[in-house]
Amino acid sequence: MSLFDFFFPEIAQASHLRRIADAASMGNTQARISQSRSQQQRSSSEKRIQELEAEVAQLTIVMEALIEKLSDNSGVTREQLAAKIFEIDRRDGVVDGRVTPQQPVEEPKKGPNFQFPSS
């Protein structure tokens, strides 16, 4: 407590209340900014999801057309295609319905090199 606070308690109290109000206002402003950024990120993510869904739909129709033309022209059946897909899926060592990228093999990290004085 300063001498100013002691001799002018009303002014000191008003000053302290103003600082508290300013801090609360700053917190509210930061919360609004954070909320706005979160909404923008969510909107961006939703837009990207919609783009990917549209791309998957286009690729699906292309694949369906390719499968039908292949089966019409060469007599390849869907079962034969399914077997080939399974064979390709197994090549990466993980049967998960997709091509799994190979992870680079990391060399083991060397431990710390402690040098102790010889006695």
Q: Do 89 and 98 form a contact (C-beta atoms < 8 A)?
A: yes
Helix axes 9-74, 78-90, angle to 10 degrees: 130
Q: 22 exposed, middle or buried (CB, 10 Å; 0-12, 13-18, 19+)?
A: exposed
Name which of 8-12, 46-50, 90-94, 96-100 the model is least confident about: 8-12
pTM of the full predicted structure? Answer: 0.46
* 89 in Cβ contact with 97 (< 8 Å): yes
Locate all alpha helices (DSSP H) within 1-119, ordered by sequence.
Answer: 3-7, 9-74, 78-90
Please state whether 112 falls in left (phi above 0), alpha (psi between -120 and 50) or beta.
beta
pLDDT recorded at residue 58: 93
**Could you read off the pLDDT of 7-52 as tens digits, one per residue?**
667 777 788 888 888 888 888 888 888 888 888 888 888 999 999 9
